Amino acid sequence: MQSKIASGWKYDVFLSFRGEDTRKNFTGHLYSALDQKGIFTFKDNHRLERGKVISSELFKAIEESRFALVVFSENYVSSTWCLDELAKILECMKAMGQIVLPVFYNVTPSEVRKQSGSFEKAFRDHEKNFREDLEKVQSWRVAMTKIANISGWHLGDREESKFIQGIVDEISNKLSSTFLNTNGNLVGMESRMKQMGSITRYRFE
């Protein structure tokens, strides 16, 4: 399975975020910085209307991404769409070796892990709304706790532009290392070059 991922993934990064919190600021700037670095990133710009279920195409994009970058923000957990993404990301991490990288934007890792503060209230609301399917809510809680336990980036009081640059540089370095297999040969480059359209999209560091 691992070799299939290395040679067959379509995107470098799947970006999971709460649009109303970060689309026009942090996530928008992060996506632009990833793109400028030549990192092929999937960012969903066309959310369905409230009440619609997450699309199979979006699940497919998660499966086809080498990395999942999850931007936890204050209202992330209030979105069942985001929580469904998160559960799928955890599934891909376990089953396919996807690398998951959490970002804590204006929330602390502890708040996310323990689901305290605004996260606690949102989960109480979900438990009321999904009282006939509490297993689903529990799966969201598990996914959030497990992913929040992964080492990631916490904005804190740092300058946002430098914070973003640090994320992009680390992902770039991680991607460069995945281009090599144990024999030192390039892996999966031919298909990726066709997708990207130009070798100039890649920078080896």
DSSP letter, residue 109: H
Q: Which of 49, 57, 74, 85 is catalytic?
A: 85
What is the spatial distance between Cα 167 and Cα 175, in angstroms, rounded to a whole number?
12
* Residue 85 appears among annotated catalytic residues: yes
- Give how far the C-alpha of residue 115 lies from the chain's centroid of Cα atoms, to the nearest Å: 19
- CB half-sphere exposure, 96, CA atoms < 13 A: 22
What is the spatial distance between Cα 146 and Cα 140, in angstroms, rounded to a whole number?
10
Sign of CA dihedral 172, 113, 77, 82: positive
Where would I find the beta strands (DSSP E) of the chain?
Answer: 11-16, 41-42, 65-72, 99-104, 153-154
Q: Identify which of 173, 172, 18 has the alpha carbon closest to the alpha carbon of residue 85.
A: 18
Q: Identify which of 188, 154, 136 has the alpha carbon closest to the alpha carbon of residue 11.
A: 188
Where in the sequence numbering do the catalytic residues fall?
Answer: 85
